């Protein structure tokens, strides 16, 4: 067995605040004014213990803080006090057993006199003993466990709960413009928090036919502070539910909002009318791969070069400028990739963002997407074509330009001559580096949106740092003065 040493380096100076640790998940019950707190540690009784490397001398108890506006400061109740020994190690076969000292995970206290009606947050806490300036600090706990609960007083009666009923209520909503079946719609929703605590809720817009939900939109999250009310703008597509007949003409529905977690509908509702769009009326003014190199070749019905060279395993940053040619356009746009020699064989499909909402004729929008070439291979030339995501499937956009690409190991011809260097990622510093005769370095998320990370000169290379909050896939795009482009896919 390996020796384990617990201790402090001799002569070193340490500054710390003694603090207890909770082993288990907290629950509470109330009988009259007596509250009993219990810890459940995987089906066994839990404990409040000392996990520090030395003995601690603390007060153990709870803090009680009002959650409603206009209330005075809270109070602390001391339930236990004294020194608690440091953990001890006992040798066992193959290792050591750790024993902790502390208090059993079942303790009671009486609610103080004089509390006003309202809700109070009760937090299990500890305080350094003998230090009048020491703060009561919440006990440490394992991830996923709670160390607090709520007491609500009303007309002399007390109730306990794990959370407050933070209610987000929809008080109004309107459709901006018109509502078309299968198209993106814009909604302006007024929501309010009827509780005095900050809360987060996830709501889903729905269309009801009588008492039956016929269509659902995309769920959206709203975060509100206590008592806050504000408006939320969202764009969504209402999708027909299984077993419900799609509208074939102008149809009336009730617009309602449903709690996405519980499925409970809000009280508010309003009558809306849904139109049926007969045809896809969209023009594509531009369709390019922003981070790839044009070879000068032409394919298909085009008068301008539209063939790109792309390195194997990289990602294409696609951009299109579209124009509404009819009265309204709100379908999603996707791109399908197929071999140029076998266009019926779809190898990949990607969706563009944002969702389109083109209410006026001649209105334009720029949409983007990212196409990974991972898993694509075996053919000499590939076609990328745009489609509208209509209710009945992918609809062809007449006259839309197409682009083509070839895969190569380098991504450009004559790499050395073009001054193309390496693009790399250092995981420790979260920095992307680009070498060679590089003129720019940009970072994009998987949807094709540029990440605000300004490149800086780092010796003979450019670097850009990926924010600590970023996760998922990041695409680094290095642009060279020769016109060449090189990409790197980063999985965080």
Rounded distance between C-alpha atoms, residue 332 and residue 300, angstroms? 25
What predicted TM-score, i.e. pTM, was given to this entire model? 0.43
3-state secondary structure of 91: strand
Q: Where are the domains of the chain?
A: 21-161, 168-275, 282-408, 420-491
pLDDT of residue 392: 64
Equal fold, 168-275 vs 420-491:
yes
At the top level of CATH, the class of 21-161 is mainly beta
Residue matched to tokens 């309003």 = 270
Q: How far is CA 353 from CA 219, 321, 349, 371, 445, in A?
A: 17, 12, 13, 13, 12
Query: Which CATH superfamily is 168-275 part of?
Result: Immunoglobulins (2.60.40.10)
Q: Which CATH architecture has domain 420-491?
A: Sandwich (2.60)
Rounded distance between C-alpha atoms, residue 197 and residue 168, angstroms? 11
How many percent of the chain have pLDDT more than 70? Answer: 89
Provide the pLDDT confidence category of residue 389 given band limits of 50, 70 and 90. Answer: confident
Rounded distance between C-alpha atoms, residue 160 and residue 71, angstroms? 19
- The DSSP 8-state label assigned to residue 400 in this structure reads -
Lowest mean pLDDT among 142-151, 182-191, 390-399: 390-399
Kindly report the backbone phi and psi dihedral angles of residue 209, in degrees, each rounded to the nearest multiple of 5, phi listed first.
Answer: -110, 105
**Count of Cβ atoms closer than 10 Å to residue 429 Cβ:** 11
Q: How many CA atoms lie within 13 A of 2 on its CB side?
A: 3
pLDDT of residue 287: 94
Print burial letters for 328-354: b (CB count within 10 Å at least 16), e (below 16).
bbbbbbbbbbbbbeeeeeebbebebee
- Beta strands at 148-154 and 157-161: parallel, antiparallel or unpaired: antiparallel
CATH no., domain 282-408: 2.60.40.10
Rounded distance between C-alpha atoms, residue 462 and residue 243, angstroms? 56
pLDDT tens digit sequence for 405-463: 998 754 333 334 345 678 888 888 889 998 888 888 888 776 667 787 788 887 778 89
Angle at 247 between CA 243 and CA 250, to 5 degrees: 155
């Amino acid at each position: 067995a390996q020796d384990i040493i617990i201790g402090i380096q001799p002569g070193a100076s340490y500054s710390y605040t003694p603090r207890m640790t909770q082993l288990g998940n907290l629950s509470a019950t109330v009988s009259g004014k007596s509250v009993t707190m219990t810890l459940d540690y995987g089906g066994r009784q839990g404990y409040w213990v000392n996990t520090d490397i030395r003995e601690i001398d603390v007060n153990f108890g709870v803090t009680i803080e009002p959650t409603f506006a206009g209330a005075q400061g809270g109070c602390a109740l001391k339930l236990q006090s004294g020194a608690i020994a440091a953990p001890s190690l006992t040798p066992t076969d193959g290792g050591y057993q750790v024993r902790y000292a502390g208090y059993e995970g079942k303790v009671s206290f009486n609610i103080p006199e004089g509390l006003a009606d309202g809700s109070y947050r009760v937090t299990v806490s500890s305080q350094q003993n003998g230090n009048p300036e020491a703060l009561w600090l919440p006990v440490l706990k394992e991830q996923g466990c709670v160390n607090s609960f709520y007491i609500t007083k009303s007309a002399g009666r007390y109730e306990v709960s794990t959370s407050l009923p933070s209610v987000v209520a929809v008080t109004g909503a309107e459709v901006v413009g018109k509502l078309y079946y299968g198209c993106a719609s814009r909604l302006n929703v007024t929501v309010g928090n009827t509780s005095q605590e900050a809360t987060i809720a996830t709501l889903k817009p729905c269309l009801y036919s009588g008492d039956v939900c016929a269509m659902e939109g995309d769920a959206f999250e709203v975060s509100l502070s206590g008592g806050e009310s504000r408006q939320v703008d969202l764009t969504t597509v209402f999708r027909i539910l299984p077993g419900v007949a799609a509208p074939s003409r102008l149809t009336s529905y009730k617009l309602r909002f449903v709690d996405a977690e519980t499925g409970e509908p809000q009280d508010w509702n309003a009558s809306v009318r849904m139109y049926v769009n007969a045809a896809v009326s969209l023009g594509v003014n531009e369709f390019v791969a922003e981070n790839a190199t044009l070879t000068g070749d032409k394919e298909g019905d085009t008068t301008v070069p539209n063939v790109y060279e792309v390195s194997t395993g990289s990602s294409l940053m696609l951009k299109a400028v579209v124009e509404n040619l009819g009265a309204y356009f709100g379908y999603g746009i996707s791109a399908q990739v197929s071999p140029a020699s076998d266009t019926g064989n779809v190898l990949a499909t990607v969706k563009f963002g944002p969702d389109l909402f083109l209410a006026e004729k001649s209105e334009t929008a720029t949409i983007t997407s990212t196409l990974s070439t991972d898993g694509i291979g075996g053919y000499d030339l590939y076609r990328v074509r745009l489609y509208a995501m209509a209710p009945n499937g992918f609809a062809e956009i007449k006259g839309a330009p197409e682009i083509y690409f070839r895969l190569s190991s380098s991504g450009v011809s004559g790499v050395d001559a073009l001054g193309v260097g390496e693009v790399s990622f250092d995981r420790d510093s979260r920095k992307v580096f680009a070498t060679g005769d590089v003129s720019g370095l940009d970072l994009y998320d998987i949807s094709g949106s540029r990440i605000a990370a300004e490149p800086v000169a780092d010796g003979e290379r450019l670097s850009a740092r990926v924010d600590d909050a970023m996760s998922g896939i990041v695409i680094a795009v290095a642009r060279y003065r020769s016109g060449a482009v090189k990409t790197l896919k980063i999985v965080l």
